[in-house]
Amino acid sequence: MKHLNSSWETRRYPRPKRSELARLARRAAELAGLPADFDWDLDIRFVGDRTMAQANAEFVGHEGTTDVITFSYFDDPGSLFPGEAAVELLICLDAARREGEKRADSSYSREVVLYIVHGLLHSAGEDDLSPAPRRRMRRREREVLAGLEPEFDFTALFPPPGFRR
């Protein structure tokens, strides 16, 4: 991954440090098995429920919000021009907050990182539409998160709402 382009499209959640976000995204892409033999860009939009619901309806054809939407253009890397994104992720921060509060083994911060990992794994060819591939996807998510945890403090990178630095 050459560049990370990110946009933070909600004011309800503290923004991460751009340099740490880029470092995490690079490492996650590497652990996910994305191509390292050419330069490619990653675009991440961090959005709220309203924007995610609109994107979900427009691009996926589903009603309501979701956690992450992935657009991957690795099918034909030769068609990518320098500076074009090979992967685009839409990450819903409201979904991360809800799931992080609901699950005893997670948090807002961990969910945001999980959604980045999940999107990158989709870009690397993983699928979760049927039981066997879904089990493999969950295993790969755990592996990549385990690889990231020693290097990154997820809570420091993605402080929960109301957190003061």
Domains of the chain (ranges; CATH) run 3-153 (3.40.390.30)
Encode pLDDT of 37-89 as tens digits.
778 899 999 999 999 999 999 999 999 999 999 999 887 767 777 777 899 99
The DSSP result for 17-73, as a single string, is PHHHHHHHHHHHHHHHT---SS--EEEEEEE-HHHHHHHIIIII--SS--SEEEEE-
The annotated binding site for Zn(2+) is made up of: 118, 122, 128
**Structure confidence at residue 36 as a pLDDT band (50, 70, 90):** confident
The C-alpha atoms of residue 45 and residue 76 are separated, in whole angstroms, by 23
Residues with Cβ within 8 Å of residue 30, at least 6 apart in sequence: 36
Percent of the chain whose pLDDT exceeds 90:
81
**Structure confidence at residue 164 as a pLDDT band (50, 70, 90):** low
The annotated binding site is made up of: 118, 122, 128
**Structure confidence at residue 117 as a pLDDT band (50, 70, 90):** very high
